[in-house]
Structure 1
């Protein structure tokens, strides 16, 4: 008797065997999710702190060390501004810009990938050519060139990063659409007279979106790291608006005198980026888990 590869049926009501392993990445995912939730909750809570003020300068309290003053638990910078308030304000700006960029990438990549995978032909070739051109064009160099013409700004960074990192979304959406367009639940509505757009929206898109959201979660940390690097280089949000990359740049000038000005925003970037990567491990492991053989 030959073996057939099928999805193993598991009874959810059956008791788990003693010593059975947990699903891959479950522990890392739980730790990462907890870290991200704590960081986001902390950023929100700081905005209700009695002394929250990321912009007011106090030259009498310059370069205070952490916990040296009750009103400034994370210390102050070279101009006497509260570092905790600036960290929270920068985190809020970083998160909403990151989510905007990721959603733009997901929207553009999903649409182009669905069109390429479902219709194929010359449209597939054109989108594949556009993908190759986009991969060959460094986003940082493009942002530098546009910043020299229009000046650096948050809007310019969102537009450049939002329309230059969609290729992985497009490839995944195309592969999923190719695997689904020959299935019975996709072919049957077309034979009954349903339009292609209705079939894509009703029968293919619901199967593609979960994959897109998984990829979006994995790319959040990468976009945060890239955005912090661009802010550090002066290509993103400009002072006096606080950003995590900008805080690292400001603290680097006084690294020997007050190293906490670099360490604190650096730890915040590390925790959020690492937390999002750990959180995405479970979804990635479940998606890539091989099928089991059943006799």
Structure 2
């Protein structure tokens, strides 16, 4: 699940989150860890321009600092950046931060990356918004080198060039999973050809099969083999009878009803689902996480 509190866009933030803080974030992450969730995720923006602040808010905790804090208070769940806008930073800086996180967490990192969509952020840090897709393609290649086994990684490209520069500690994992976010044709192609997985951005269920088929075709045509994780973002969920208006898109009901709805994703070829629960308080969210882990998740297998 994507964690609450850490980012507070009006698209998904519950009213109780606006007054929440670090203790709430830790409590929810620990609940997800106890409930058997595969990962907890946070997302990335450096600075929100005034023209977008009303919709996006300016509350966006730094993903590396947040995941490092949560690594220290959880023991099992993986730590996902969904997604890091890596074009805003030099790949050696990104590699230093995330390699350290993987090392300190005992190999729990999943590095999710995306192109970004806010021009002002790129301008402010001196990054190239117009060529962000090409920059991301090369940055993924550079990160492959910089997060690999070599103490002195090497990359020579159009936008980045480095060699004979050592970085330790190395990641705990032999290969850090790199998932690519986005649902545009370019993002889907990037995921298929450069990633270890795909993180769609809220695609309706009806659109997923075609995109998953395209990923398979692209990988087959390119001779790409090995593990590849297809993800999906589910509709908002509420386990049980809510007794309040949870919104028309929310999937509610008994555990078996919710599980039946979610099993349709597996039939499409999805390997992991990211869930989000409607809630009116931290305690209600934690109750929802526990109920899902105990009563819904076992029915998905």
TM-score (norm 1): 0.21
Question: Where is the strand percentage greater, Structure 1 or Structure 2?
Answer: 2
**Structure possessing the higher relative contact order (Cα contacts under 8 Å, 6 or more residues apart):** 1
Structure holding more helix per residue: 1
Higher-Rg structure is 1
Q: TM-score, normalised by structure 2?
A: 0.21
